[in-house]
């Protein structure tokens, strides 16, 4: 699903964010990406979403080399990737339903199709009865789940999460990770960037570790972090 081959990224300011990074996330797999602040996690995710381009090396998504894509093709690749942010980035003046429907409106589905898909996605995250609430009426964990529903409403083959539990307590964080596992069992490949090693240790998934821009190799959670 994701393949990095000898990928390096140097920012114009001079920072060498990634150096010769190679790794592979198979189709249907779920894995963690970890490392200290500044290790390069966000940069790695931004190379997948094409917000940044590699300085060297090759990035492939779903078998396609995206390192040399023309700009016109970028939206097509992005459509295949659901993204979850730490701060969920919901529109506060829109209902839960409207927030989740946004990616479908962009693609141009009919109203009936949108209603069906939004209800399915809200069902996955356990918020079927909150469709007409505004984000402010929901708890922090529920707001994060709305963000997750929005990310998966298109049924993307790949889901990326950047510190998705950063603002949540340990119990809610665990609930969110279980939810990712549920989505993974629907066939969605999942990559979760987090520095919460305690959380990772409680789950059995491959963990890719970055240290100062280099990949330390992968391990099963809890083995040698």
Q: Which residues bind ligand ADP (CB under 6 A)?
A: 11, 13, 15, 17, 35, 37-43, 162
**Minimum distance from CB of 44 to ligand ADP (Å)?**
7
The least CB distance from residue 38 to ligand ADP, in Å, is: 4
Query: For ligand ADP, which is the closer residue by CB, 97 or 208?
Result: 208
Tell the smallest beta-carbon distance from residue 89 to ligand ADP (Å): 12
Nearer to ligand ADP, 25 or 121 (CB): 25
Q: Which is nearer to ligand ADP, 87 or 181 (CB)?
A: 87
Q: Least Å distance between CB 39 and ligand ADP?
A: 4
Nearer to ligand ADP, 148 or 161 (CB): 161
**Token duo for residue 93:** 């003046």
């Amino acid at each position: 699903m994701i393949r990095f081959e000898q990928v390096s990224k140097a920012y114009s300011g001079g920072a060498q964010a990634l150096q010769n990074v190679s790794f592979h996330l198979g189709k249907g797999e779920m894995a963690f990406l970890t490392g200290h602040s500044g290790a390069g996690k966000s940069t790695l995710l931004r190379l997948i979403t094409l917000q940044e381009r590699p300085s060297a090396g090759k990035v492939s998504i779903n078998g396609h080399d995206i390192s040399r894509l023309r700009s016109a093709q970028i939206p097509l690749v992005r459509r295949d990737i659901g993204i979850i942010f730490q701060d969920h980035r919901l529109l506060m003046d829109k209902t839960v339903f409207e927030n989740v429907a946004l990616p479908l409106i962009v693609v141009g589905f009919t109203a009936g199709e949108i209603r069906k898909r939004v209800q399915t996605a809200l069902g996955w995250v356990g918020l079927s009865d909150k469709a007409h609430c505004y984000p402010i009426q929901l708890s922090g964990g529920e707001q994060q789940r709305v963000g997750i529903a929005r990310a998966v409403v298109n049924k993307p083959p790949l889901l990326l999460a950047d510190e998705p539990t950063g603002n949540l307590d340990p119990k809610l964080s665990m609930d969110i990770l279980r939810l990712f596992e549920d989505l993974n069992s629907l066939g969605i490949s999942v990559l979760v960037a987090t520095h919460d090693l305690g959380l990772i240790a409680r789950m059995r998934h491959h963990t890719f570790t970055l240290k100062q821009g280099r990949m330390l190799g992968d391990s099963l959670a809890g083995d040698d972090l």
